[in-house]
A and B are shown apart, each in its own frame.
Chain A
Amino acid sequence: MNRLRRALAVVLPALALAAAGVAGARAEDAGRACGAPPELLEAGAPLPATARAVSGGSLRIVVVGSASVLGPGTSGPAAAWPARLERLLSDKYPGLKVETVVRGAPGLTASDGGDMIREELKRAPTHLVIWQTGAVETARNLDLDELAAALDAGLGQVDAAGADAALVDPQFSRVLRANANVEPYLEAMRLAAAAHNAPLVRRYDLMHAWAEAEKVDLERAPRSKRVAATDRLNDCLAQAVAAVLASGVEEAKPQTQ
């Protein structure tokens, strides 16, 4: 049913646009989240607490992650993807009060992240936890079972607190791919997300797709353009996260609506 609805949701507007002959509409559609493959923008799981918060008018998001949530290499804190995400959500849901708490530190493992999540959940009622993790484990070739256990425990806490969770997996980089055994770690992230019915933002696949399409490619950007490219990456990523969240909110709406 969901698939049919999703398919219709894509096909019907497309037909309508084609019929109306709106010039440039196609280009705009292709530009969604910097041209990310559409299947990477689907949540695949509902976000009920977030949907309720959106209807209620106030949404508290906790973003936990290792270095990249802090926006290293960007032009400033406002350019980091969590800050951009907050603005995108405010634009998408007018009247919604979005509060985003960002916590992270370089070298943060999943089990450190789980501790931070516990603290934040205690501090204030939270609707959504966006958990960017797995990167440190992948890069350092750390224990896979420990990663799986930490993800399971961390997501379990979020479930128990009645909040939604969304995972964000490691960044794509050719250097990482050439020097680390990335696939088992990505697989562990996918499995943990699926086992807890939580959306997974497949940042690795997104960044790979952007790099292949030459939309954003930090590794190939010349030094002088690197800050601009990092800003753009954070922008694209924020758009992708927003799209996944919106899809999860949509999935949480009752079927009869």
Chain B
Amino acid sequence: MFGLVRSGQGRGGGGSRDLRADFFRGVALWFIFINHMPGNWLGDYTIRNYAFCDATEAFVLLAGYGAGLAYGAMLDRQGWLFASAAVLRRVGTLYIAHMFLFVVFTAQVGYSVAALDNMAYLDELALDAFGEQPYRALLEALLLRFQPAFLDILPLYIVLLLMLMPALALLNRPRLLITASLAIYVAVRLADVNLPTWRGGGWFFNPLAWQALFFIGCALGSSRRAGDPAPIPRSRALMAACAALLAMGAVLVVAWQRPEPLPYLPDWVASFLSGVDKAGLHPVRLLSILALAYLLGHWIDRDAAWLRGAAAAPFVLMGQHGLPVFCAGIFLSFVGRVALEQSEGWPMQAAVNLAGLLAMVAIAAVGAWYRQRSGEGGRKRAVAERTALPAAAANRTMAE
């Protein structure tokens, strides 16, 4: 497995690959898989139980970071048009993946509802929106205006990447990018604007608000590419403030989630908590994930030995193959939910979680192996070309 992890050491250029980002992306993907299965016992232990942010925030921030790195490099080499074409290609892949998952989900609901045998007491649980108006539902799904439960992250990601296409022009001016992005975020929150859904209401994750987190990630990734060692320098005061923020959040979230609400929790706490919306990425959620990223970024050394150890390897590998692992995770969570629907005791819990994690790691491993193999071929070609076109070949090696 170690052989499959891309460390990127010795590649030169902007420095070796940051395994911390890969590792935490892997963990976020694992948590997303878990959190997409209500009834999974591990769901009580993921980060959402301890903080005002969850794996979705981590995923979006790291997606932005990765996009800033990758498309930033492309922007430098091949220009805006080429880089935005590459983004568009990615959008196409994500869209197809989303439609595939939509079909899988619809099949799952259809199966469940048919098995339910029209039980009267579930009348109010009209799950089968697709069955009611199949053609309309299909059209609305294609327009991303119909997003069934648990199929809300990919549409968000698709719109974020579409926004990235014009924003690439600002990638080399991170301050301007972040200012513009935060201005839109504030305006969207104040005006309470969201993209529409078919049956009224807005998207589960409002891309117009979530773009703030994504573009902060982009700016971080882009500055990393430029060789800036730490975009926000280490500061004792800031670290203390971040730790305090996270500690306060943890106390509130943990206290709140006890089986019985604490009688001495003042009323305003519940009022405040009910205002912390996820759809519009409430500022508390935004600050929590940024504080967490800042602390982890400064506490964990880039070259920490454990990142190259056996325990981290599966997650690093998953993080390095984010898209297939993400899609597989969503797919596997459907299967897991059906399994937990049959039985929810510990044997099934163990089976679902073990099989799911193993499958996700296996998909990452296959992806890494394939990439390595095709990369070897690519390098051979590069060597051949180097004799003819030294400059172009040098560029290509850097790009890998």
Contact = CB atoms under 8 A, between A and B. Distances in A.
Nearest to B117: A223
B98 interface: no
Contacts of A108: 124
A63 to B, nearest CB: 14
B199 A142 contact: yes
Given A107-B126, A139-B126, A178-B337, A39 B108 contact: no
Interface string A117-157: 00000000000000000011011111111101000100000
Interface string B120-162: 1111111101000000000000000001111000000000000
Contacts of A9: none
Contact of A184 (B270, B271, B278, B338): B278
B200 interface: yes
Place the interface of chain B in its size category: 35 or more
Given A106-B124, A176-B125, A180-B127, A226 B341 contact: no
Interface centre among A139, A174, A175, A179 (most CB of B within 10 A): A179
Interface string A185-199: 000101110110100
A136 B279 CA distance: 19
Given A173-B125, A184-B278, A219 B119 contact: yes
A140 B199 contact: yes
Interface string A151-178: 0100000000000000000110111111
A144 B278 contact: yes
Given A145-B202, A182-B38, A107 B124 contact: yes
Nearest to A146: B201
Interface of A: 2-3, 39, 42, 44, 66-68, 72-73, 106-108, 135-136, 138-146, 148, 152, 170-171, 173-184, 188, 190-192, 194-195, 197, 218-219, 223, 226, 230, 233
Interface of B: 38-39, 43, 108-109, 112-113, 115-117, 119-127, 129, 147-150, 197, 199-202, 204, 259-261, 263, 265, 267, 269-271, 273-274, 277-280, 337-338, 340-341, 344
Question: Nearest 7 pairs between A and B by C-beta?
Answer: A143-B201, A73-B120, A194-B270, A191-B274, A67-B124, A181-B149, A195-B270
